[in-house]
Structure 1
Amino acid sequence: MVVGRRGRRPAGSGVQLTFEVIAATLRERIRASELGAGDPLPTQAVLMREFGASSLTVQKAMALLKQEGWAVSRPGKGAFVAHDDHHAHPEGADDLDGSEATAPADGTTARVKVLERALAEAAQQIADLRGRVEALESGSGERGR
């Protein structure tokens, strides 16, 4: 496989840019069940070492995976597999054009589960903060008397 290193694809060639290779490799790992729904994706540092790529190249690959629905970000936690539907991709599906070729057919359910978990965690954090505020307000109210 020939990889374009400078971000320019020669016209009419089958050269893949490094970020495309990284995204394709991660998609294949998901399809092969090496990574399942909700599993953390390799960190930026790990991918940089594995592919000899810059941080910007890895970021572009992750952005592509998120745009296609293969990954979701959880602020402060990292990127995670959004679905586990490798059976939905018949051989040759990558030969299609556009995001419909790589977007999961039934990955929505897994994405919803990941988002629901993130929402539940956020709701718990809000409840914890609300409790702290109430404790502080009740403590300061007594001091002011």
Structure 2
Amino acid sequence: MPLTFEVIAETLRDQIRCGGFKPGEALPAQAVQMREFAASSLTVQKAMALLKQEGWAVSRPGKGVFVTHHDAAADGEAPGSPDGESTPVGATAARVEALERALADAIEQLADLRARVAALESGGDKQSR
């Protein structure tokens, strides 16, 4: 029996496959998913992390989680290919793109944290003087 976060992820994958969510479109907000699936915030976050890890979605800080241009070759089927030929290069490219975005987001978060630490340290120096 799949765990709730796996059910959420699979439901969203199915909706993406069927065109319910198109590349670049925002996935439902965490609060909406919590209500829809009667799930905790942590469960929804785990589902989103799984979709991001698999290359189905990417986070944009302050904006939400968005569908990537997902190549169904990762599932063994090529979009638009009636005979189901796989195109692993496309799937790999989608995953690389998702990882690059995640890395850029992480770098941005690190820069913000460094700026906060620097501000705290400079503020602390002024108080001790």
TM-score, normalization by structure 1: 0.53
More helix by share: 2
Aligned counterpart, 1:67: 53
Aligned counterpart, 2:44: 58
> Which amino acid is 1:42 matched to?
P
Identity %: 62
Hey, what's the Cα distance between the residues in 2 that align with 1:19 and 1:76?
22
Aligned counterpart, 2:94: 108
TM-score, normalization by structure 2: 0.59
In structure 2, runs of 5+ residues without a counterpart are: 78-89, 109-129
Q: What's the secondary structure of 1:76's corresponding residue? A: coil
Aligned counterpart, 2:32: 46
Q: What's the secondary structure of 1:29's corresponding residue? A: helix
In structure 1, runs of 5+ residues without a counterpart are: 1-14, 92-103, 123-145
Aligned counterpart, 1:142: none
Hey, what's the Cα distance between the residues in 1 that align with 2:42 and 2:95?
30
Asked whether the 8 Å contact 2:55–2:70 carries over to 1, the reply is: no
Q: What's the secondary structure of 1:59's corresponding residue? A: helix
Alignment root-mean-square deviation, CA: 2.9
The 5-angstrom pairing of residues 1-145 of structure 1 reads 15-86=1-72, 89-90=75-76, 105=91, 108=94, 111=97, 115=101
Hey, what's the Cα distance between the residues in 1 that align with 2:91 and 2:50?
17
Tell me the matched-pair count: 91
